[in-house]
Amino acid sequence: MESATFRDQVVIITGASAGIGHAMAVQLARQGARVAIAARRAECLEELAAACRASGAEVLVAPTDVGEESQCKALVDNTLSTFGRLDMLVNNAGLAASALFDDYHNLDLFRHTMDVNLFGAVNCTYYALPYLKQSKGRILAVSSLGGKTAIPYNTPYCASKYGLHGFCDALRMELKPHEVSVTVVCPWWVATEFHAAQLNKDGVPRGAPRGKDYYTSKTMTADRCAEIALQAAYKRRREVLMGPGLLAVWLKLIAPGFLDWLSIKIFLEPAARRAREAQAKRE
Ligand SMILES: NC(=O)c1ccc[n+]([C@@H]2O[C@H](COP(=O)([O-])OP(=O)(O)OC[C@H]3O[C@@H](n4cnc5c(N)ncnc54)[C@H](OP(=O)(O)O)[C@@H]3O)[C@@H](O)[C@H]2O)c1
């Protein structure tokens, strides 16, 4: 049993059909929590529910598109009618579109990223808040280091995650009198479907990661990331940076120009080269 225990607590997890959200659901179920699992892919949620129930947990399967406000309201309403209370909301659902900003054909992908990563969290939080105030509960947001220091080739993603930080930081202060905590965790590189699901400028998932070295033995697993995130929420911490997060944030403070140079070398130049190669292959 994990040290952070959410026994008997009712938890909504968005983006539970895969990756970090899936791992959190499994861990919470093992800890004796009652979980409402939300994402778009119902069949993945059913499989997860079976695994959680095998650990003795009560589970609500709630197919939800968090970009749709009415579906987020339904998620909260169904959780309340099933379990009668709410102790934690995990805003984890997320995706990335990855291209140069001026290569997008229009702003649809930008808006879609904002709808899921930022408004998905805003929608769910809005409807969950009355119940979280009653339980003096917790909000856990899964952001990214891309919400602390910008990553070129990822303008929609960074805009959505920076927005998520602003939303959570302001909300934390507003909720202080109600004893509801707001924790933001910023993973770095986690081995999940996230990277293959990244959309290119045409809205097409870029597919399986390139090369066997894409994930190394040092890449964080979804399980480890989930464990850190749940611990942080349990301890009601405000923000947790993973991987090189602290270094990046310090560099941004003391040498922002150098950090830009580094990010161009690490992210922009290789991404632009890969896009050129893919284009050449298509022609
Ligand atoms: N993996 C990393 O390296 C990394 C690094 C930093 C931050 N993060 C953040 O961690 C969070 C989880 O990502 P992950 O790595 O676990 O990725 P993942 O394996 O691709 O999982 C993403 C989850 O989000 C759900 N989702 C996507 N669009 C949705 C929508 N419109 N409505 C409801 N659910 C939706 C997906 O489910 P459906 O497709 O079934 O809807 C899936 O369950 C994201 O917020 C991401 O930004 C990840």
Q: How many whole angstroms from its chain centre is CA 272?
A: 26
Place of tokens 């070398």: 265
Tell me if 103 is assigned to some domain. yes
Tell me if 270 is assigned to some domain. no
Residue 237: which residues within 8 A CB-CB, separation 6 or more?
183
Angle at 220 between CA 215 and CA 225, to 5 degrees: 145
Tell me if 251 is assigned to some domain. no
Task: Check pocket membership of 184 for ligand 1, CB cut-off 6 A.
Answer: no
Tell me if 207 is assigned to some domain. yes
Angle at 210 between CA 207 and CA 212, to 5 degrees: 125
Task: Check pocket membership of 64 for ligand 1, CB cut-off 6 A.
Answer: yes
Six-digit token string for 187: 């993973």
DSSP state of 99: B
Query: 92 C-alpha to center of ligand 1: Å?
Result: 7
Task: Check pocket membership of 20 for ligand 1, CB cut-off 6 A.
Answer: yes
DSSP state of 264: I
DSSP state of 136: T
Query: 209 C-alpha to center of ligand 1: Å?
Result: 16
Count the Cβ atoms, other than its own, within 10 Å of residue 275: 18
Query: 238 C-alpha to center of ligand 1: Å?
Result: 21
Tell me if 283 is assigned to some domain. no
Six-digit token string for 166: 């602003």
For 248-255, the CB contacts below 8 A with 24+ separation are 248/145, 248/148, 248/149, 249/148, 249/149, 251/149, 252/148, 252/149
Burial grade of 107 (CB within 10 A; 0-12, 13-18, 19 or more): exposed
Give alpha helix (H) positions in 84-119: 108-113
Give the closest residue (by CA) to ligand 1 atom 46: 94
Tell me if 261 is assigned to some domain. no
CATH of the domain at 40: 3.40.50.720
Six-digit token string for 57: 């947990």
Contact 90, 125 (CB under 8 A): no
Q: Which of 127, 157, 162, 234 is catalytic?
A: 157
Tell me if 183 is assigned to some domain. yes
Task: Check pocket membership of 45 for ligand 1, CB cut-off 6 A.
Answer: no
Beta-strand pair 10-14/88-91: parallel
Task: Check pocket membership of 119 for ligand 1, CB cut-off 6 A.
Answer: no
Six-digit token string for 103: 């290569």
* DSSP3 helix / strand / coil % (the chain, rounded to 5): 55, 15, 30
Structural domain total, the chain? 1
Tell me if 256 is assigned to some domain. no
Query: If the chain, 283 residues long, is cut into consecutive pieces of 10 residues, what is the mean pLDDT of each piece?
Result: 78 98 98 98 98 97 98 98 98 96 97 98 98 98 97 97 98 98 96 94 84 70 97 98 94 97 93 82 79
pLDDT of residue 3: 55
pLDDT of residue 272: 83
Angle at 185 between CA 274 and CA 158, to 5 degrees: 40
Task: Check pocket membership of 41 for ligand 1, CB cut-off 6 A.
Answer: yes
Give the closest residue (by CA) to ligand 1 atom 1: 190
Query: 120 C-alpha to center of ligand 1: Å?
Result: 11
Give the closest residue (by CA) to ligand 1 atom 17: 194
Domain that holds residue 183: 10-245
**3-class secondary structure, 37:** strand
Task: Check pocket membership of 141 for ligand 1, CB cut-off 6 A.
Answer: no
Quick one: which atom of ligand 1 is closest to the CA of 67? Answer: 31
Beta-strand pair 88-91/138-142: parallel
Instruction: Classify residue 15 as left (phi > 0), alpha (psi -120 to 50) or beta.
Output: left
Give alpha helix (H) positions in 95-151: 108-113, 120-135
- Residue 214 among the catalytic residues: no
